Chains A and B, each alone.
Chain A
């Protein structure tokens, strides 16, 4: 039997405001417990919330970037439940009137690799499938898949505190530093059909949030959290199956793995004629499995009702349009620009753009006169490999190998000072030592040997030393030339200009 997974994601992102959603306390991460608190975020009796307008502005930015309907009517609701990390025993959230209503987001991915794509680039690809040109090489034989994913809503709410269980036996401590931090909950429609699509959605969403500078999207610090609603149904059926909500994933990879596991678990259940139960399940990263957290029967009745302490108010059209005008360049627009201005393939443009810092790095190198295509290739192959093998991040790449170095390196290749092969060694040394490629080349005397006289005398030496190969070549065995060129390269410690070495040998042997 064939089953189709149906996946929806709920993403909570912490908005990058200076102060909390309803009080003036700092949102700084990593402070000593309960330092960033006041009567309001501690829920002290008599305290009242006042909305942080900066948080509202950031929320609207996201709504505009996700093509959401914005009604302009702002209303908050109380979500009531008891838990020690929730000081007021209710969370101020938005129930039936979210700041951002229905919207959408386009994802593009090729199986096993997720990237985003601008709608325009996609359109041109549809009209002219050949137009992708050399990007096909990079993409192997797998086709890119493009899909529009619906956004149900993106609403504002306050975060809870944190329970600390270490320290004293048989007791828990509460740290309310995080309580009241502004969150935006972005809920997708159940439009995702595979773990890869879920991954692509998250990558694409994260790129947008980072371009908007509304969140640092750090899953480990909890500034981005993701829950997944997963169900399966028989292929071709239109009714949804019973869903499970999966929590506790701390990376995009974990989300992908948890969904993968959950699809298999549910498929096994149906295959053995058992029922999927509606429940909340926790992902266990070490075990690679999900486990029951609570059943539907144990689910809370949150008793939502309008927050009487915050009167509903209207956001004017002018305010919204003002925010729209100030939106920065978004990933889709940047991809377009990279394709148009730098003649990159859409795949290359996507890979660069989906990481804002990588794209910035690329553009800095290009501004320093680097050849865009070469820069893109070098970034995606050599530089990312170095970043990964050193367990660094793209963020620190400029510290180890500034974009000016890349421009310099590509210049050295283009003016034939060094060969592409030597350039790889230069990058590695430069990355390690912090010295510029030019300095490395000079210090290690890695310049290509283009001195014809020098090469000719070396060629003579090689010809004299390998009479058998010379004879073979003269007898018509072309492979012998390769051996002789290799010997010449060895003789010059790899610095001979390969093209020149070839020419000289051929001339001398004929």
Chain B
């Protein structure tokens, strides 16, 4: 194979279209240079239209010399711009962190490097992961590869769009209230939010510390399992990371799903939800049944409070986490006559509208006199929501729901209505409140050709059952093979 060729030997698939798994196999034989070149030319032609990458490695030779080693064999991968990479600008798509260069690698970056992955690009996102449409990025919105007038979802919109558009083989995102799953659904790819504590948060710039999880966005369930094998595990630098042993997730892919109990929560199928979305998730349930699973109704009675609780507790944590961006140590600073003015001007000019909204909201709910009524009550309801899942999982192995209540909406459609925007995470938020794992994977398309995603939720640390069912469904339906026309 020569450097100028961008076709894989087998089946004449263009190199950029390979799955992560195929790219690893390819690289082990041919080296990663051609993979790199394929992605660079793809990114150069598409990124101006999609704005998925904030930065990508434009050099035409890979930073790692061949032959490449490690389980990931030098395959290029993309990173959401809120995960710290030593020596590379990392901004959270915010003006206030423009020029910020972390002096250390996040644990997941260390793990990827050790496994032999090549960091290819850094992905656009909603500013500080505040958003469900990727419109709040200080560096412009990301476009949905299936329809560039529509949003890719958020906040990991850049990661999702890049994977969907074959601009990268896989990407890391982060999920606080649906930020991996909702964009995965909107872009027709696979996205996993692992159990809270499954992957180290060390080096993930925090939004809601008790919600945040890093996770993979991939073309297939198998790709996702391969990455989870690398990323999962205890980290002594993250006190919230779990000591549970890490299984080989790829082993779960070969298992059958006969006898698996899958619950359909009645609270997730409500009046007024998008008919096409509802139908395709109900069809998915039928497919599972056909594959031998048992479908059962379940109830998650406190679902309706999820969004309210989330927008109290997560923003409270966010308001505190973002205090450090004050012009003293990192990133952006507005010079001023005194300290107070420097704080005011730096934060006023450095943060975008949605970041300010959440900082104010979070500061308010933690304020003296309001703490009990909001934050404390919110935490109590969070316990009830967690308990809902514990109860439901006594009856079923998995819970199936839509990932988002609608297909991807138009850019600008909800940006002036924060409440409508917040509701687009209504099905993903409860998972973060409970700390359980959940995956979004494609389950069909609207008549107009927009992807629809479904969500598979499992007990804490039971990602394996998600992989097992997800893989079986994916192999049965083959939705992942469909590509956006770009």
Q: For B202, B319, B324, B343, which residue has the most chain A Cβ atoms within 10 angstroms? A: B324
- The reply to whether the CB of A30 lies closer than 8 angstroms to some CB of chain B is no
A303 adjacent to B367 (CB under 8 Å): yes
Determine the distance from Cα of A82 to Cα of B328 in the docked complex, in whole angstroms: 10
- Contact A80/B320 with A50-B236, A87-B329, A311-B240 known, Cβ cut-off 8 Å: yes
> A303 touching B363 by the CB < 8 A rule?
yes
Are A310 and B329 within 8 A (Cβ)?
Answer: no
**Chain B positions within 8 Å of A87 at CB level:** 324, 328-329
Of the listed stretches B163-171, B204-212, B416-424, B448-456, chain A binds B204-212
Verify B320–A301 contact, CB threshold 8 A. no
Q: How far is the CA of A353 from the CA of B329 in the complex (A)?
A: 47
A269 interface residue (CB < 8 Å to B): no
Counting chain B residues whose Cβ lies within 8 A of the other chain, the interface size class is 35 or more
Give, as a whole number of angstroms, the nearest-CB distance from B357 to chain A: 17
Residue of A nearest to B364 (CB): A303
Among the interface residues A90, A305, A311, which one has the most CB atoms of the partner chain B within 10 A?
A305
A55 close to B (CB within 8 Å): no
Residue from the list B210, B239, B368 in contact with A51, Cβ < 8 A: B239
CA distance A45 to B329 in the complex (A): 10
Question: Which of B361-388 touch A at CB < 8 Å?
Answer: 363, 366-368, 371, 375
Whether the pair B104, A43 counts as a contact (CB closer than 8 A) is: no
Q: Evaluate contact between A89 and B326: CB separation under 8 angstroms.
A: yes
**A44 and B328 in contact (CB under 8 A), knowing A50-B237, A80-B323, A305-B316?**
no
Partner of B320 from the list A47, A51, A84, A305 (CB cut-off 8 Å) is A305
Q: In the complex, what distance in Å separates the CA atom of A152 from the CA atom of B258?
A: 61
Q: Is A258 part of the contact surface with B, judged by Cβ < 8 Å? A: no
B84, B106, B201, B329 — most chain A CB neighbours (10 Å): B329
Q: Across the interface, do B326 and A308 meet the contact criterion of CB distance under 8 Å?
A: no
B247 interfacial by beta-carbon distance below 8 Å: no
Contact assessment for A45 and B330 in the assembled complex, using a CB-CB cutoff below 8 Å: yes
Q: Are B330 and A305 in contact (CB under 8 A)?
A: no
B102 touches A45 (CB 8 A): yes
Whether a CB of chain A sits under 8 angstroms from the CB of B238 is yes
Does B375 lie within 8 Å of A305, measured CB to CB? Answer: yes
Cα(A45)–Cα(B203), bound, Å? 7
Q: How far does the alpha carbon of A89 sit from the alpha carbon of B339 in the complex, in Å?
A: 14
Do residues B328 and A305 form an inter-chain contact, with CB atoms below 8 A? Answer: no
Cβ-defined contact, A305 with B371, below 8 A: yes
Answer yes or no: A49 CB below 8 A from chain B CBs.
Answer: yes
Per-residue CB contact flags for chain B residues 279-306 toward chain A (1 = under 8 Å, else 0) read 0000000000000000000000000000
Known contacts A84-B339, A303-B363, A309-B239, A44 near B326 by CB under 8 Å:
no
Which residue from B103, B106, B324, B343 sits with its C-beta under 8 Å from A88?
Answer: B324
Q: Is the CB of B343 within 8 A of A82?
A: yes
Residues of B within 8 A of A48 (CB): 201-202, 237-240
A44, B368: Cβ atoms closer than 8 Å: no
A 156-183 binary contact with B (CB < 8 Å = 1; else 0):
0000000000000000001000000000
For residue A39, CB closer than 8 A to chain B, the reply is: yes
> Which chain A residues (43-102) contact chain B, with CB distance < 8 Å?
43-51, 78, 80, 82, 84, 87-90
In the complex, A42 has a CB within 8 A of chain B: yes
Alpha-carbon distance between A47 and B205 when the two chains are bound, in angstroms: 8
A-binding residues in B (CB < 8 A): 82-84, 90, 92, 97, 100, 102-104, 106, 201-206, 208-210, 236-240, 316-317, 319-320, 323-326, 328-330, 339, 343, 363, 366-368, 371, 375
Interface CB pairs A-B, < 8 A, 19: A42-B329, A43-B324, A43-B329, A44-B102, A45-B92, A45-B325, A45-B330, A46-B84, A80-B366, A89-B324, A303-B367, A303-B371, A304-B366, A304-B371, A305-B366, A305-B371, A308-B208, A308-B317, A309-B206
Residues of A at under 8 Å CB distance from B? 39, 42-51, 78, 80, 82, 84, 87-90, 174, 301, 303-305, 308-311
